Amino acid sequence: MCVEGCGLLSERDPDAELLEQVGRQDPAAVRTLVARKLPRLLAVATRMLGDRMEAEDVAQEVFVRIWKQATRWREGEAKFDTWIHRVALNLCYDRLRGRREDPGDDLPDEVDPAPPPDARLEARARGERVREALAALPARQREALVLTYYQEMSNTDAAALMGVTVDALESLLARARRNLRAQLADSGLSKDKS
């Protein structure tokens, strides 16, 4: 897990060498980069958008931009992983604005508290309830939580990526978790805990 201290620019970017090879259009490097980054990009886009197909479109668009930038990438200006997250999030926000979802910090909607129909589907149902609760969060709270919890970014990397201070990031995280807890409590957070 890379939670803190792995975002220092003084360290060698772990993707730099691979990116140089991609810039030389090395087919093996292209495959390696896709295998390394596609799951992360797909995860962040899926959680931000709540829609798998849209998330796949976003991931593909990010890679189109990677191919364009690979030959011009200069190590030290930004970590490559941070940059691709910024590109992915910008594309996600474009789509959220297209849906007229306010990327601000408003209050979330209620999550459907209906219990799962079948015990065998419990794990899937729990995941779906979390996804619904995440989708109902204000976009900035969702972004903060997705970057730090699911993408396992350090607080300094996530704050820099979002263009906020670490204090502001922590405030977004605390509000995100409170909102999620309130929504999931309605759908049985305590009693469904396994």
Query: Applying CB under 8 A, which part among 74-82, 88-96, 106-114, 150-158 lies near other proteins?
Result: 150-158
Residues 6+ positions from 144 with CB-CB distance below 8 Å: 158, 162, 169, 172, 173, 176
Of 27 and 104, the one with the shorter C-beta distance to other proteins is 27
Q: Find the shortest distance in angstroms from Cβ 64 to other proteins.
A: 6
Tell me which residue of 130, 68, 65, 72 sits closest to 91, measured CA to CA.
Answer: 65
Q: For the range 65-68, what are the long-range contacts, defined as Cβ-Cβ under 8 Å and sequence gap of 24 or more? A: 66/22, 66/33, 66/37, 67/22
Of 163 and 190, the one with the shorter C-beta distance to other proteins is 190
Contact between 151 and 2 under an 8 Å Cβ cutoff? The reply is no
Q: Round the CA-based radius of gyration of the chain to a whole number and report it.
A: 18
Q: For residues 79-118, which are near other proteins according to CB under 8 A?
A: none
Cα 130 to Cα 110: distance, rounded to the nearest angstrom? 12
| Candidate residues 12, 14, 36, 67; the one interacting with other proteins per rule CB under 8 A | 67
- Asked if 165 touches other proteins (CB under 8 A), the answer is no
Q: Find the shortest distance in angstroms from Cβ 66 to other proteins.
A: 9
Can you give the binding site for other proteins, defined by CB under 8 A? 1, 3-5, 22, 24-27, 30-31, 34-35, 38-39, 42-43, 46-47, 52, 56, 59-60, 63-64, 67, 123, 126-127, 129-131, 134, 145, 148-150, 154-155, 166, 169-171, 173-174, 177-178, 180-181, 184, 189-190, 193-194
